Amino acid sequence: MEYTIDHETAYRYPQPVSESYTVVHLQPRTNLRQYCTRYNLSVEPGARVFSYLDRFGNDVQHFAVMPEHAQLRIIARSHVVTLPTSGGEIPHDVDAARLHADPLVSELADYCASTPYVALGPEVTRLADAVPAAADDLATYFLAAGSFVHDAFTYRSGVTDVRTTVADVIDAGAGVCQDFAHVLIALARTRGIPARYASGYVFRGAGATLGAEASHAWAEAYLPPYGWVGFDPTNDRLVDDGFVLVAVGRDYGDVSPTRGLYRGVDPGSLRVTVAVDAAAAEQ
C-alpha cells in the first residue's frame, strides 16, 4: 500500500511564549516492511530543524523558536509505501528455549524490564494468568494476550492521559490505544518476551481524517524466527500493510510524537489533526 500522511500539531498560547524547544518523533521509519519515500517537516514560526538518529533507530527532529510567539504549528508530511507481510503466516511455536537461543535476545534487556509507563508487578502477573493461552508457546500467548486486552478493556478517551501507567489502566479497565499497547507490552514482558512500543498510523479508509487519536500505537514482541511481530490490541489484529510505523521505544515516553519546553506562563492548548490517505488508487 501507498500512503500520504499529513500530521499537523498546533499549540496556541493565550500569552505569547518564547524560547520554545521541541523534539518530535514524526518521521516514518524505513525497514523491510515499509519505505518512507518522502518526509517534510515544517515549523511556523520558522525555525532551523535538526535531525538525529536515536538509539532505537528512529529519526528524531528538534528545533527551537526563540522569539515570542502565540502559536506554534508543526506540519509533518510523508509518503510511505508498505509491503504485505510475507505469506501472511501467523507466528506460532516459539518456546522459551528458542527465544533464549537467539543471539539478539540478551541485548534486548531494556524491552524485558519495567519502564516508566510499563511497571511490572502483581497486577500484571494476575492479568497474564487470565490470558487464555498456554504460556509455553510465546507467539500464541502474545497474540492471545493482544486479543484478551482488546476484549477485557474498553476503548474510551478521557479516562487516561499521557501520564497514565499500566497499573492505572488495569485499574480503570479502559483507555486509548496508547494504554492498550502498554498493557500488552506488560503482559509480554511479564512472561519474558521482549516487547516494545510502536507508534504510527493505521489506515481506516479513504478520506478518513481523525482527531487527536489518529496517531496510533500498538505493541511489538520479539519472537524468533519471525523477528519483531506487531499486534494492535485496539483493533485486535496483527500489524500488516495497513499500518505505518513511525517510531519504536521502550514505552510512550521514548517516542512521544511532540514534546517540548518553553518560557511562558500559561499551559496553552494543543490540537492535532492527522490525515492518512491511500495513494495506491492514483497510480
Partner 1 sequence: MLELVQRPVVDDVFDEFFADPTTPRANYARLAVTLAAVETDTLVNGVRAINAALLRRGVTFTVYAESSGTERIFPFDPIPRIFSHREWRRMAAGVEQRVRALNAFLHDVYHDGRILREGRIPRELVHSSDLFVREMIGVRVPNDVYIHVSGIDLIHDDQGTPRVLEDNVRTPSGISYVLENRDVLKRTFPRLFDGYRIEPVDDYPLRLLRTLQEAAPHGAREPNVVVLTPGVYNSAYYEHAVLARSMGVPLAEGRDLLVVDNRVFLKTTAGLERVDVIYRRIDDDFIDPLYFRPDSALGIVGFMNAYRAGNVGLANAIGTGIADDKALYRFVPAMIRFYLGEEPLLENVETLDCSDPVTRRHVLAHLEQLVVKRTNGSGGYGMLIGPASTAAEREDFARRIEATPRTFIAQPVIQLSSHPTLVDGQLSPRRIDLRPFALYGKRVDVPPAALTRVALRKGSLVVNSSQGGGSKDTWVLAAEDDDA
Residues that bind partner 1 (CB under 8 A): 19, 21, 23, 48, 50, 52-53, 55, 62, 64, 66, 106-107, 109-110, 113, 260-261
Tell me the residue type at 43. Answer: V
Closest contact distance (angstroms) between CB of 189 and partner 1 is 13
Closest contact distance (angstroms) between CB of 52 and partner 1 is 6
Cβ proximity to partner 1, 19 vs 136, nearer residue: 19
Angle between helices 177-189 and 138-152 (to 10 degrees): 140
Cβ proximity to partner 1, 110 vs 213, nearer residue: 110
Cβ proximity to partner 1, 117 vs 141, nearer residue: 117
Q: How far apart are the first and last CA of the chain?
A: 11
Q: Residues in the chain, how many? A: 283
SS3 at position 14: strand
Cβ proximity to partner 1, 25 vs 216, nearer residue: 25
CA distances from 10 to 32, 84, 273 (A): 32, 34, 9
Cβ proximity to partner 1, 177 vs 193, nearer residue: 193
Q: Which three cell numbers stand for residue 215?
A: 496517531
Residue 8 neighbours by CB under 8 Å, 6+ apart? 73, 74, 75, 76, 272, 273, 274
Closest contact distance (angstroms) between CB of 62 and partner 1 is 5
Closest contact distance (angstroms) between CB of 21 and partner 1 is 5
Q: Which three cell numbers stand for residue 48?
A: 532551523
Contact present, 209 and 258 (Cβ < 8 Å):
no
Closest contact distance (angstroms) between CB of 218 and partner 1 is 22
